[in-house]
């Protein structure tokens, strides 16, 4: 698969991305595992740890980001 090709090319999605071939292979593997119901507790734990570190680094850099409530209110008002 071309590293610039999207997973789905249905005519509505752009097919140009900046995803590296290695990352695309990891994404496809993860999607295949998820769609087949394969659950690896170690991979899940590592993913949770990465997400926690990322969330904390964003909080330290930008503070608390409260974007959901204003966005929902804007959607209701439009």
Domain residue ranges of the chain, discontinuous segments joined by +: 1-38, 40-78
pLDDT for res 15: 64
**One-character DSSP codes across 53-77:** HHHHHHHHHH-----HHHHHHHHHH
- Grade residue 3 by pLDDT with cuts at 50, 70 and 90: very low
Contact 26, 50 (CB under 8 A): no
The structure's pTM equals 0.52
More confident residue, 32 or 66: 32
């Amino acid at each position: 698969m071309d590293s610039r090709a999207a997973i789905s090319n249905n005519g509505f999605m752009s097919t140009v991305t900046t995803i590296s071939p290695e990352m695309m292979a990891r994404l496809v593997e993860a999607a295949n595992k998820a769609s087949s119901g394969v659950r690896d507790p170690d991979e899940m734990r590592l993913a949770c740890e990465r997400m926690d570190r990322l969330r904390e680094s964003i909080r330290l850099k930008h503070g608390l980001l409260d974007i959901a409530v204003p966005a929902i209110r804007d959607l209701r008002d439009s």
